[in-house]
Amino acid sequence: MTNSQNNPGINSNNINSDPFLIQEDEKVFELLNPPNANLSKLDEISGMIAYAHYSIQKHQFVKGCQQSQGKMPTEDALKSLIFSFQNENNAALSALKIQSKILLNQYAQEYLEKGIYQEILEPIEKVIEKRTSFWSAIGTNLFGSVIYSFVIALIVFTTTAAVPNTKFSRIFKILMEESPNPTYPANPKEKK
């Protein structure tokens, strides 16, 4: 008599020690990490992570059965779950592979960003903090303001001199308290 005939549920201590289940798990591992294949290190790690995801799904299946039914899943139910991952062209197996590659890419991106910050940006920030003080920042801003004002004044004077009869030029001449050359008299009575 097998364990499933004695007990309709699998003993939680026996879930990972049943020789048949171990053998079936090995088949899933070999599908995710083919032996004698010239895999890159990235593919090897990806396969191992995919197998870890498979183990997590199996564990979640067992926990779900415990919570919903109040007992461990039957051996047949667990075999059915394992068999669902044993076809090389299976969507569940493909999803594990894709999920592991996504996880590796996210980790690599996070590691790269953290490495760039620690190796490049952090030293630059420290140099800037050392060389930047309150008074030097004020001096820099004051110098920038003077340069900006000079450029604006240069543009205004150049525009006024180049085109003296525009409204802008007249407004500028009034503001500078020069008498503009009106094209019409200011007071019509003075026209005599």
Tokens representing residue 137 in the block: 């920042």
CB atoms within 10 A of CB 10: 22
| pLDDT tens over the chain, length 192 residues | 344 444 444 444 445 556 777 788 888 888 888 887 787 888 888 888 988 888 888 888 889 888 888 888 888 888 888 888 877 778 888 888 888 889 988 888 888 888 777 777 778 888 777 777 777 778 888 999 999 999 988 887 787 777 777 777 777 777 776 555 555 555 556 554
If you search the block for the tokens 């407004």, which residue do you land on? 171
Please tell me the distance from the alpha carbon of residue 93 to that of residue 31, in angstroms, as a whole number.
8
Q: Quote the crossing angle between the two packed helices 19-32 and 91-116, to the nearest 10°.
A: 60
The pLDDT assigned to 28 comes to 85
pTM of the predicted structure, to 2 decimals: 0.49
116 vs 131: CA distance, rounded Å: 22
Q: For residue 119, what are the contacts with CB-CB under 8 A and spacing of at least 6?
A: none
Note whether 98 and 49 are within 8 A (CB). Answer: no
Q: Identify the pLDDT of residue 8.
A: 46
